[in-house]
Structure 1
Amino acid sequence: MTATAMEAGPVRVGLDRSWWQRHGNTTIVWVSRLALLAVILVLWQIAADRWIDSTFTSKPSDIVRRLAEWSGDGTLWTNAWITVQEIVYGFLLGAAAGALAGFVLASMNLVYRVLDPFMLALYSIPKVALAPLFIVWFGIGVHMKVLLAAVTVFFLVFLNTAAGVREVDRGLIDAVRLMGGGRRDIALKVVLPASMTGLLTGLKVAIPYALIGAVIGELVASNRGLGYLINDAAAQFDTAGVFATLVVLSVIAGLLNVVVGLIGKRVNRWKPLDE
């Protein structure tokens, strides 16, 4: 082997696969999802006012009409933007604090063992019960919803990150020590990359909880936001309005999941492919 070939590294041979071989499984999954959704909506539309009372369940056509109405007069965009800000700020704040606390505390075995039961006890408190207390502390403004969402996210990210740190292969740590690596090398080159799976799991699980925290705050005390729209629609027995708001919340959660998924793919590029 020549020096030039050795410097070039391993030879990469591209596989001559068709478009279907590369994207067939993904296409089948997405087509199946859309087909299932279409069947559910069609059955719902047919069943409304035939087999079930649409006063209580509404129907897809009424929900679409309500979304169009709210979009036209700006009600949807104004309130959705407020809730999105609360969700994003709460998620970022809670995720950053949870990831940092999980990484640092789980790296200190004695401290983690002392604090673990207290963290689990705090995590077990229903977040709905914290809403009145947060109103007393922070008022009914945006800050209260952001902090309620952040607290909800914090414990999920903390627990998953801590679990990822504590499950790092001890053999890797010992190997780095044998090669002369210090605590900094172990933390940055072994523990941090290996704990990313736990962190990303925590982030994915926390997305709907960030949404729940923000909406709970709006339901308890607010005159704007998607939680307020749900309250207002329910007070008027407008089930189409309630379902329309739930659709918007589902879309927001889906978009946040996509963002976290893209981040996960970028962070985990060092891992071997499943296929």
Structure 2
Amino acid sequence: MSNFKSKAVAPSLAGLSGTPDADEVFVVDPSIRARRRETRIVVLSRLILAAVALLVWEWACGRWISAFWISSPSRIAIAALNMWNSGGLLRNLYATIAEALVGFAFGVAGGMVMGVACGTSRVISKVLNPFLVGFYSIPRIALIPLFILYFGIGFQTKVIYIALLVFFPVFMNTLSGVRDVNQDLIDVIRVMGATRSDTVRKILIPSALAWLFAGLRISVTYALTGAIVAEMFTSNVGLGYLVSYYANQFDTSSLFATLAVTTALGLLLNAFVVLIEKRLLRWRPVEGA
């Protein structure tokens, strides 16, 4: 009799204790399921759209438009494979990546330092503002001949040019992020005895990170674009050099293959920045949650 009672009472006690059942433990939040479903739909839609575009391109080549002008995905793939097997693609790819990353690093460092300095000091901001605005109004591509004159056609010329392209997006976003910080936070930490450097390290820079990464996502593509443009003018190696070379040879398939590699590289660099942003800004609420 006692065994029967214990078995009968046990289920009711389990429900009252607040301990979830095995099925309840593994129930997925509906919002998480919705985000996963949305992600699958987006990925599938992208793949379908890309496949349709490539199929239409392949079919139109030679029928609507001459292959001399647009080539075809199959010919471009063959050209890319030949470039890879020859070893030339990998060598030029490494050169472009090295230039883009070094120039990007210098541009980001300079933009962050200048953005924090101008954001924390009104005097510095007012003094430098007309110079920065004036320099920003100069088309950067017009500076390449001067850079060739000053620094030659080596690695340093392309790095300086890339750093200039990257500097301004990072600077403006960092400046906006520093100025957007809640003044109450600054007042509280100063009342607690924080120094100016403590305020910059613990309040201004962390609060400006969201703005900074917005600038990084823009500037990473600027870095790659700057490397390609500079190589077209000042180099005999790199993806930009290949673009110029194949254009002069009227080799449309190899030209499109080089542009496809450049596009893939840009997507990878942007994805890398987004990954770092997600890891450093995990405290931000997820959009749509």
TM-score normalized with structure 1 length: 0.90
Q: CA deviation at 1:114?
A: 2.5
Query: Is the aligned partner of 1:16 residue 2:10?
Result: no
Q: CA deviation at 1:221?
A: 2.1
Runs (5+) with no aligned partner, structure 1: 1-12
1:145 matched residue in structure 2:
158
Q: Greater shift after overlay, 183-192 or 56-65?
A: 183-192
Given that 2:169 and 2:219 are in contact with CA atoms closer than 8 Å, whether structure 1 keeps it comes out as yes
Q: Greater shift after overlay, 243-252 or 176-185?
A: 176-185
Query: Is the aligned partner of 1:98 residue 2:119?
Result: no
Query: Is the aligned partner of 1:61 residue 2:66?
Result: no
Q: Give the alignment partner of residue 268 of structure 1, picking from 281, 285, 288.
A: 281
Q: Give the alignment partner of residue 32 of structure 1, picking from 45, 66, 71.
A: 45
Mapped to 2, the partners of 1:22 and 1:53 lie a distance apart of: 44
Q: CA deviation at 1:190?
A: 1.4
Kindly report which structure 2 residues correspond to 1:1-275, keeping only aligned pairs within 5 A, or say none: 16-17=27-28, 21=34, 23-274=36-287, 275=289
Aligned with 2:102: secondary structure?
Answer: helix
AA at the equivalent of 1:41: L
AA at the equivalent of 1:157: V
Mapped to 2, the partners of 1:76 and 1:224 lie a distance apart of: 10
Given that 1:87 and 1:211 are in contact with CA atoms closer than 8 Å, whether structure 2 keeps it comes out as yes
Mapped to 1, the partners of 2:116 and 2:171 lie a distance apart of: 8
Mapped to 2, the partners of 1:246 and 1:14 lie a distance apart of: 50
Deviations 1:222-247 (A, max 9, x none): 11111111111001111111111111
Mapped to 2, the partners of 1:14 and 1:84 lie a distance apart of: 47
Mapped to 1, the partners of 2:190 and 2:234 lie a distance apart of: 54
Aligned with 2:256: secondary structure?
Answer: helix
2:12 matched residue in structure 1:
none
Structure showing greater Rg: 2
Given that 1:131 and 1:216 are in contact with CA atoms closer than 8 Å, whether structure 2 keeps it comes out as no
AA at the equivalent of 1:155: F
Given that 2:117 and 2:124 are in contact with CA atoms closer than 8 Å, whether structure 1 keeps it comes out as no
Q: How many residues are treated as equivalent by the alignment? A: 263
Q: CA deviation at 1:21?
A: 4.5
Deviations 1:17-67 (A, max 9, x none): 188546221111111111111111111111111111221111111110110
Mapped to 2, the partners of 1:20 and 1:39 lie a distance apart of: 28
AA at the equivalent of 2:198: D
AA at the equivalent of 2:277: G
Q: 1:130 to 1:15 in 2, by over 3 A?
A: farther
Mapped to 2, the partners of 1:129 and 1:121 lie a distance apart of: 14
Percent identity for Structure 1 against Structure 2? 42
Mapped to 1, the partners of 2:244 and 2:112 lie a distance apart of: 34
Q: Greater shift after overlay, 133-142 or 105-114?
A: 105-114
AA at the equivalent of 1:135: I
Aligned with 1:269: secondary structure?
Answer: coil
Runs (5+) with no aligned partner, structure 2: 1-23
Q: CA deviation at 1:14?
A: 6.7
Deviations 1:206-230 (A, max 9, x none): 0111111111111112111111111
Mapped to 1, the partners of 2:130 and 2:28 lie a distance apart of: 53
Mapped to 2, the partners of 1:117 and 1:159 lie a distance apart of: 14
Q: CA deviation at 1:124?
A: 2.1
What do you get for the CA RMSD once the two structures are aligned? 1.8
Mapped to 2, the partners of 1:197 and 1:56 lie a distance apart of: 43
Mapped to 2, the partners of 1:145 and 1:15 lie a distance apart of: 54
Given that 2:115 and 2:175 are in contact with CA atoms closer than 8 Å, whether structure 1 keeps it comes out as yes
AA at the equivalent of 1:138: F
TM-score normalized with structure 2 length: 0.86
